[in-house]
Structure 1
């Protein structure tokens, strides 16, 4: 079984990569908007720092000592995942440097567009590589798209929280919650299909079914937060929805007996 602290690393890594992917896409699309880029700098800088820290935690955590019986040599997919994650981390450092110290101008806009494209590509490849590394002989074909969707959903949730905190409008809105609610329902639907296919060959016990109900409830929590957005400030519900999705990510990655971050360390 994974040790309790290690359970946090895979979903945090997925969230960091998802956040960097969304940030890279936004920079790529908005790099030529000289009227918007200065106002977006605090959001972009904080997103780069948060996403970079989460990815760095995953890379460092993959080398933590584990019990001898659980240690595994890194697979080819795991090495590729680490490579893509390292590239994403390096590009995020370059992007932060350009945003912070290079003066505005046509050349800066071009560099930002290229770095945004590179960051989005590297982060998406790291997400895909982690999902592929977690696949075990095609026994769960929906695991790969589900984990990719989970990473992008977690990253978007973090981005929404930063937007609500730092943008002038601030405080979040129901539209953000509705977006997370729809993505959560898609993830829950993927889970139901995966569980149905699994139970055809090996019916789940009562303990497993109880864990599944908690998992599904966490994924549908953003829908409840959206429905209750008028009762309390949307920012509070946005934080609650993000926490629920992160908890669902922990349960998603805790279902294997292998060491933490199989996506980075073994296969």
Structure 2
């Protein structure tokens, strides 16, 4: 229908251009474009008119790109575009902005004006130094972020933000492994009645006995679990009951002694 290369051919071309950019020390831009709410267009006008609109969109996209650039249809209303031999990362911006401007011009079909907008995710190689599949995935992620921010816009993939996310996921996995290896330990600080000298309770202080970094305070690892479920609380709560039972059986604390849980709610 559009006469454009498919996903497989686009990835082959992307790999060729990626290797060329490495050799020439130039930059390569990969854009992933998705038409906004195009399903509504198909429902309202029918698939036959929807196909004509897609063909017109493909024609407009081709017209905005340079002769050597690559345009591919990934699936349905999704397109990918490749711009290589860029002298610097910002060199792609004028063409990309012009592309969205051209798409915003109403399309006339059967005498009716139809307005289309698109969200585009963009990533730049070698600033984003992944392989071809990774670059496409990153451009897709950036496109979804553009939609989250309100559609009809460009969003540049944030390499540093993605690296931070990957590191956080890795840290969270290590923390869960630490729970399974019983590396979370509890230290108890007794509470004493100053009038009688009796131990009336205890405060449980959680620490991570890290195999490489030593004993960690909660402030050193709570940011790992912030915003996720609380994987350590149930295990630590069970451990406090196990640890204190022998002391109470020996009469080490009054039967009504209380335990204060000192781990923040995020754990």
- TM-score (normalised: structure 1): 0.25
Question: Which structure's residues are more often strand, by fraction?
Answer: 2
Greater helix percent: which structure?
Answer: 1
Structure of greater Rg: 2
